[in-house]
Structure 1
Amino acid sequence: MTAEPPIVIEHREHVWYLLYQAAQLEHMIMCQYLFAEFSLKSDGLTADQQAAVDRWRQELHGIAVQEMLHLALVANLMSAIGAAPTFNRPNFPQSCGPFPPSIQMRLLPFGEAALTHFLFLERPEGMERVDAAGFIACDPPPEPVVAGEIFPRAQEFATVGHLYRGIRDGLTALAARVGEEQVFCGSPAAQATAELFRWPEMVAVTDLKSACAAIDEIIEQGEGAQGDWREAHYGRFLKVWEEYTALRAADPGFEPAHPALGAFTRQPFDVREPQPLIGDPGTMVLAELCNLAYEAILWLLTRFFTHTDESEEELGVLVGAAIAMMAGVLRPLGTELARRPAGPAHPGRTAGPAFEMYYVMDNVVPWRAAAWTVLTERLHQIVGRCAPHAAGDPVIAAAADRAKAVADAVDACGARYR
C-alpha cells in the first residue's frame, strides 16, 4: 500500500486554495456522472436489459446527487473560513490543468470506459487501479509545498479522499495553532442547512468539529469509512460494472447507452485543443437551452451561498428554484440531447450536454435587489428562448413550462425590492 504524501497547510490561503480545487473537482465529477446517466437508453432493449439500465440510471442519479451534496458541503467549508464559495470551473476535457496529472476529466457515455474511469476516481486510499484508456498523465506531479511558502499552489493528491484528509488534518493543525475562532470566522447565517436543502447529511460548518464532520461525510460517501467501501460510491460503481460486464458477456451486442459526444456549441474559451462542435441546427437549439438552464442553476446556487440579508423564505425560493431547474429543465433537456444527432461531422454520434462555461463565472453584486433582478431577467430569457420551439417539440414545451414556473416564483419573491 502506497503512503499518501502529506498535504501542507500553514495558513488560511492554503486551505482556501485546496477547497477551491475540491469545489471544482466535485462539480466536474458530478457533471461526468450526469452525462453518463443522460446517455442511457429508454427503449430498444430486452426486458431484462432495460430493467438493468433503469437500475443503473437510478444509481448514477443518486451518486450525482450526493456529489451535489459534497459540492454544497465544500461551499459551507469555504464560507466558514471566510472564503466566498464559487461554482466556476474549467470546461471539459481537463487533462493537465487544475488537478494533479493523474486526475483527469472527460465526458463519456455510459459503458466500460466510463465505469473504469469512475472506479478510478472513487477508489479508496491505497487501492491500485488503472484509469480508462486514453487517460494518460501528461505532467510530473507538482513539487511538494515546503514550510514557509506564503502563496498557495497545487499539491499532489492521489485520490479524492487523500485531498480531503489533507484538508481535515490541515484545519486541525491550523486551529490548534491560531485558535478555532480565528480560523472559522465566517457567519453561521451563511451556512446551508439540512432544513433548507432537505438533506439530512448537510452539515452546517461553524467550528472544527463540524468541519471534520462535513469532510468525513464526503470521504465516507465516496470511498467508504475505514476502508469499508461496499456501500460507498466505489462499491456502488463496482456493482454496476459487474452487472454490466455479465450482460455484455451474455450478449456482446448489448449497448445500454446512446453514443453521446460532449459536443460544444462553440470552441470553449479555456481549452486549447479543438473540441467537437454541434453541426445539427435542431440539436444546437436544444444544446443552448440546456446550457442556459445549467448556467441558471449555478447563478441560483451562487446567490444562495453568497447571500446577504435574504429571509429564510427567500433562501428557500433560491434552493427550490435550483432544484426545480435541475429536475424539470436540465435533466429532461440533457436526456433528450443525448438522443439527438451531433451533426454531419460526427456520423453515428449523438450529442450530449457539455455543461459549457462560456466565460469565467464570478459572483453577482452583493446588493439583494440588483442580484434578484439579474436572476429574474435570466430566467425569463430562458422561457423566451424556448417559446419559438415549444410548439414543435414536446420536450422543450415541458421544459418551458417548468422554467416559467421557476421564473415567476423568483420574480414574485424579488418584486418586493423593486
Structure 2
Amino acid sequence: MRRQIQRLFRRLPATSTAPTLPSPKGGGELPGPCLELPAGLGDGQNAGMAGDGNGQAPEPPLRVESREELVYLLGEACELEHGLLCEYLYAQFSLKRSVQEGVTPEQLARIQVWELAIIDVVKQEMLHLSLATNILTAIGAAPHFERPNFPILSRWYPPDVQIALVPFGERALRHFMFLERPEGMSLRDAEGFGAVGHMRPLSNDDPQLTGGAEEWHTVGHLYRGIERGLAHLVDRYGESDVFIGPPNAQATTQVFEWPELTAVTSLASASSAIEIIVEQGEGARGDWVNSHFGKFVGILEDYLAVRRADPSFEPARPVIPVFLREPPDVDLVTLIEDPLTRRVADVFNAAYEVILQVQSRYFVHHGETPDELETLAKTAKHLMNWTMRTLGPIMTALPVGPQHTGQTAGPAFEIVRPAFFVLPHRDAAWKILRERFETLADVSLKLAEDPGLTGMKQIATNFQGFASDLRRHLTARAAVPTS
C-alpha cells in the first residue's frame, strides 16, 4: 500500500519513512501517516519546500503597497476559508449513515471516525474565517462573507486554485490535500482539477491605488503575503495608523469557543492570528502530521486500506451538487426536480443564508449589549452544530429527480443575495432575524409531517428556540424607556 500512497508525492524528491501507528479495527483514532515522505519532512525540517533544491521555483512574493490591496487579499482569504469550509461540509454530509446503505458495521465505524476528523477540520476553518475577519476589522474594513457560487474555478482565483463540491472519497481527499498542502510542496491536484493558464505577477511599476488579484498558490502563500504586507504598511504609516478598527467589533474567546480567537490590535497579534491559520492548515514549518493536510493524508491512507480489503466499498452516498435555480455566475448546474427535495433544499439554503446574516451582524454590531452579542455568537454556533449537521445528511438522502435516477441531492450552498448578508441597523436586524427563524420553523414543521422527514421536527424546534431568544431581547429592549 505504501507504493500506492507514494503516488501522492510522485513529484517530490528522495524519501524517508515517517513513524507509523497501528490501524484500529472498527472505531478509535485515525492511524498516523505512514507513507514515505519527502526527505526531512518526517523529522520536522523544511526539506521538499520551494527554493531548497527540489527543482521547484520559489513562489513569487505578493506585493502590498496599499490598504486597499491588503483588504482585497484578506477578502480573498475569507472567500477561500469559506469555500474550504463548504467543501469539507459537503464531503461530511455525503457520508453514509447506516449499514442499510450497503456498508458493514466495521466499515461504518471507520466512516464515523473519518467524519469526526472532518468535523475537527471544519471547526478550525470556522476559526480561520473568524481570525481573517478580525484582521479585516482591525484595518478598518467590513466583514466579507460573500463568495462565488460553486464550482469556483479559475475565473476567480489564481489558475491552480479551484474549489468544487465533491463527495467523500479518494478524489475529494486528494483535492483537499492539494489545497491544504504546505507552501512550496510540489503536489498534483486530484483528477479533474487542473490549472488553466497563468497569472502575471505584479511588477514594481504597476499602479496599486485599487486592489487586484495576485499570484498565490497555497493558503500559506496567501497568508504569508498578507503578513508581509501588514509589516510593510506598519513600516510606512506606523502601527496606530494601520490598525484603526475597533477591537470590540471583533470575535473573541469571550463569546466563542476557541481559545485561539483573540482580537487583532497590532502587528504582533495579526502575525499570531496568521500563524494559527497556517499551522493548523499546513503545519508548523514542515511538521504537518497534525495539520489539516496531515489529517487528510491519514484519512486517505485509512480509506485506501479499507478499499483494498473490499474493492466494492463506497463510503459516500451518490450525491451531486444541486441548485434550486440557475445562479448568474456558474454555467451548467444541475437543478432539483423532485418537489420534496426542492423544499428541503430551500430550507437548507435559507438556513445557510441566515448563518451568514447572524455572523455579519456580529461583526458590524452597534448598540448591542454583551448579553445580546453572546446570543448572536451562540446562535451562529448552534446553527452550525445543531441545525446544519442534521439538515445536511437529511438532504443527501433525497433524490434529485427523474432525470438523475440513482443520484441524491448534495447541498450547493447557494449564494442568492450577497448584499443582504449585512444587516446594518440594530433593531431592524434583530426583527429580520427573528422573522426568518419563525418562518424556517413553520416550514420545517410542515416538512416533518412527511414520514421520511421526521428529523425536520427537531430542526423546527431549533429554529423556534433561536426565534425565542431573539424575541426575548427585542421585548426587553422595547421595555426600556427612550429619552
| TM-score for the superposition, normalised by structure 1 | 0.97
Amino acid at match of 1:17: Y
CA offsets per residue over residues 7-57 of structure 1, 9 Å max, x none?
A: 001111111000000000000100000000011112122222111110000
In structure 2, which of residues 381, 388, 397 is the aligned counterpart of residue 330 of structure 1?
A: 388
CA offsets per residue over residues 251-283 of structure 1, 9 Å max, x none?
A: 100001101111111111221x12011111111
Query: Is the Cα contact below 8 Å between 2:171 and 2:191 reproduced in 1?
Result: yes
Query: Is the Cα contact below 8 Å between 2:361 and 2:423 reproduced in 1?
Result: no
In structure 2, which of residues 185, 194, 202 is the aligned counterpart of residue 136 of structure 1?
A: 194
Name 2:443's counterpart in structure 1.
Answer: 385
The answer to whether structure 1 residue 258 and structure 2 residue 313 are counterparts is no
The answer to whether structure 1 residue 372 and structure 2 residue 430 are counterparts is yes
In structure 1, which of residues 52, 59, 63 is the aligned counterpart of residue 121 of structure 2?
A: 63
| TM-score for the superposition, normalised by structure 2 | 0.84
Name 2:292's counterpart in structure 1.
Answer: 233
Secondary structure (helix, strand or coil) at the match of 1:370 reads helix
Name 2:305's counterpart in structure 1.
Answer: 246
**CA deviation after TM superposition for structure 1 residue 292, in Å:** 1.0
Please give the alpha-carbon distance, in whole angstroms, between the structure 2 residues aligned to 1:215 and 1:17.
16
Secondary structure (helix, strand or coil) at the match of 2:271 reads helix
**CA deviation after TM superposition for structure 1 residue 363, in Å:** 4.8
CA offsets per residue over residues 275-311 of structure 1, 9 Å max, x none?
A: 0111111111111111111111110000001111211
Larger gyration radius, structure 1 or structure 2: 2
Name 1:204's counterpart in structure 2.
Answer: 263
Query: Is the Cα contact below 8 Å between 2:357 and 2:423 reproduced in 1?
Result: no
Name 1:306's counterpart in structure 2.
Answer: 364
Please give the alpha-carbon distance, in whole angstroms, between the structure 2 residues aligned to 1:32 and 1:145.
34
CA offsets per residue over residues 73-119 of structure 1, 9 Å max, x none?
A: 01100000000112111110111232111000110100011001000
Amino acid at match of 1:198: E
In structure 2, which of residues 67, 72, 77 is the aligned counterpart of residue 12 of structure 1?
A: 67
**CA deviation after TM superposition for structure 1 residue 362, in Å:** 4.5
Q: Call closer, same or farther: CA 1:380–1:139 in 2, change over 3 Å.
A: farther
Secondary structure (helix, strand or coil) at the match of 2:108 reads helix
The alignment's C-alpha RMSD in Å is 1.3
The answer to whether structure 1 residue 403 and structure 2 residue 463 are counterparts is yes
State the 4+ residue runs in structure 1 displaced beyond 4 angstroms. none
Identity of aligned residues (%): 44
The answer to whether structure 1 residue 221 and structure 2 residue 267 are counterparts is no
Deviates more, 1:394-403 or 1:131-140: 131-140
Name 2:20's counterpart in structure 1.
Answer: none
Amino acid at match of 1:187: P
Name 1:30's counterpart in structure 2.
Answer: 85
Name 2:158's counterpart in structure 1.
Answer: 100
Please give the alpha-carbon distance, in whole angstroms, between the structure 2 residues aligned to 1:406 and 1:145.
51
In structure 2, which of residues 232, 239, 246 is the aligned counterpart of residue 180 of structure 1?
A: 239
Query: Is the Cα contact below 8 Å between 1:191 and 1:305 reproduced in 2?
Result: yes
In structure 2, which of residues 248, 257, 261 is the aligned counterpart of residue 189 of structure 1?
A: 248
**CA deviation after TM superposition for structure 1 residue 365, in Å:** 4.5
Query: Is the Cα contact below 8 Å between 1:283 and 1:340 reproduced in 2?
Result: yes
- Structure 2's unaligned 5+ residue stretches are 1-49, 51-56, 479-483
In structure 2, which of residues 336, 345, 366 is the aligned counterpart of residue 278 of structure 1?
A: 336
- Structure 1's unaligned 5+ residue stretches are none
Please give the alpha-carbon distance, in whole angstroms, between the structure 2 residues aligned to 1:309 and 1:110.
43
Secondary structure (helix, strand or coil) at the match of 1:261 reads strand
CA offsets per residue over residues 340-362 of structure 1, 9 Å max, x none?
A: 11111212211111111112234
In structure 1, which of residues 291, 295, 298 is the aligned counterpart of residue 349 of structure 2?
A: 291
Query: Is the Cα contact below 8 Å between 1:269 and 1:358 reproduced in 2?
Result: no
Query: Is the Cα contact below 8 Å between 1:100 and 1:155 reproduced in 2?
Result: yes
Query: Is the Cα contact below 8 Å between 1:7 and 1:156 reproduced in 2?
Result: yes
Amino acid at match of 2:473: C
The answer to whether structure 1 residue 315 and structure 2 residue 373 are counterparts is yes
**CA deviation after TM superposition for structure 1 residue 204, in Å:** 1.1
Please give the alpha-carbon distance, in whole angstroms, between the structure 1 residues aligned to 2:350 and 2:256.
23
Amino acid at match of 2:255: L
Name 1:146's counterpart in structure 2.
Answer: 204
In structure 2, which of residues 387, 396, 408 is the aligned counterpart of residue 350 of structure 1?
A: 408
